[in-house]
Structure 1
Amino acid sequence: MVDLKVDGRDVSVPEGANLVEAVEAAGAYVPRLCWEPGLEADGACGLCVVGLEGSKRTVLACETAAVEGMSVQTNHPDAVAIRRRRLELIKSDHANDCQLCPKNEICELQEASRAAGVEIHVPKKL
């Protein structure tokens, strides 16, 4: 097992786990559109960005292995800003017909948008 901290909470994850798995094990949230357990990470959506204590850069949680003693910050200011920009970019090219979508209200994009404070587009009536 690998012991680390997520948002100040102690968590243990199996050897080989990534930071998304550590975040979820800690009961915290980081959005992810492109990674699922059992699949190889490619970092395509870029939403799972987190900060690491003692580092000036952010990392993608899906591509970063959990390391003993690591301290992960899901709400690091740089990570939050990057996440918002990426969500806005994704949503700028999104169909925005949520009311017609079968995933409405069980949609990771909607959940991520709410968590980041990015407006969920509601089409204007014509």
Structure 2
Amino acid sequence: MEEREKLAKMDLLRARFDISYARAREVLEANDWDAVLATIQLEQEQATAQAAPGGFTEELKVSGRDLVETLKRILHEGNVTRIIVRDPKGIEILNLPVTGAVVFALILPVLTALGAVVILAMDYTVVVERKY
């Protein structure tokens, strides 16, 4: 890969995530200069950092057939601030901020639609951000 292409990818990450050239290069090198994978890594790091004060993040591996039921259970547990669902490749298919004012009935249509879309044989990662 040309140095010009590397610099363009570093500039992209710097602009999007407000990081240094050194950090952009580090993340890109760790991901074989794949800008999409580097972006995903930086998003995950930011999400973890944002969830840290006053809360914590947990990741659950769930099969497609259990995905909707797991999401319903998590919502009923309370103290959830955000739910992120990623497919096996790490691509977000759902990023749902949850506030205390959100009524479960409002989220149910989203879960129903998600249940119709998911492929049952796939395994998903559910990231749950909670507050203490």
TM range, normalised to the smaller chain? under 0.3
TM-score (norm 1): 0.28
Task: Look at both structures and tell me which one has the larger radius of gyration over its CA atoms.
Answer: 2
More strand by share: 2
**Comparing both chains, which one has the higher relative contact order based on Cα–Cα distances under 8 Å and sequence gaps of 6 or more?**
2
TM-score (norm 2): 0.27
